[in-house]
Amino acid sequence: MKNFGLGLLLVLFAACGENLLKEEKVSIVYNTTRVSANSDVFNSQFSLFLNSYFNLKDAFIKEQINAIDAAADSVSKLSKAIPLKELKADSTQKTAQILIESIKAELIGLKGETDIEEKRKAFQMLGEQLLVLIQTVQYDRQIIYNQYCPMAMDNNGATWLSNKAEIQNPYLPKTMLECGEVKDTLNYFVK
């Protein structure tokens, strides 16, 4: 009788898990097909810009100076191509423009540094500005994770953005790659 009860319990768990998976898939399809608050032109270009930032983050994880500089060039180039006129509110356009100018200046500083730790300081500032930019434009085509490691920057802590919930620390990749937590999830799908 115990085996029958255990078997029944396992079947129920499996069935429940299967239903949860189906519901998740429906939710994901709904979120990616809903109408965006921003234009397709804006979303397309902003997506390229964000992906170049994620490539920069990955270059820091690999600690490859040439790849870091190339990725920073890409972020800079794509930041100039974001069609801010596509944003609906003039105030949002102005705020976004100021943030993009600040991001471009930080990228110049990042490229000008020769020491990887100094480049990481510029990367931290870049991420903070990008976070505010994403919140300003309310980019709703991707979930973005604001991650934090309290041990980074000589135990002062630092944040970065990721397109994955999994922690891969760009500040301490050799010694503490998985150190950190998701501090916030930027998900404008639901709004």
pLDDT in tens, 31-50: 456 788 899 999 999 999 99
Q: Are 153 and 43 in contact (CB under 8 A)?
A: no
* 84 DSSP 8-state letter: G
Q: Hey, what domains does the chain have and what are their CATH numbers?
A: 42-186 (1.20.120)
Comparing 100 with 26, which gets the higher pLDDT? 100
Length in residues, the chain: 191
- What's the predicted TM-score (pTM) here? 0.81
- What is the tens place of the pLDDT at every residue in 52-96? 999 999 999 999 999 999 999 999 999 999 999 999 899 999 999
190 — pLDDT class (breaks 50, 70, 90): low
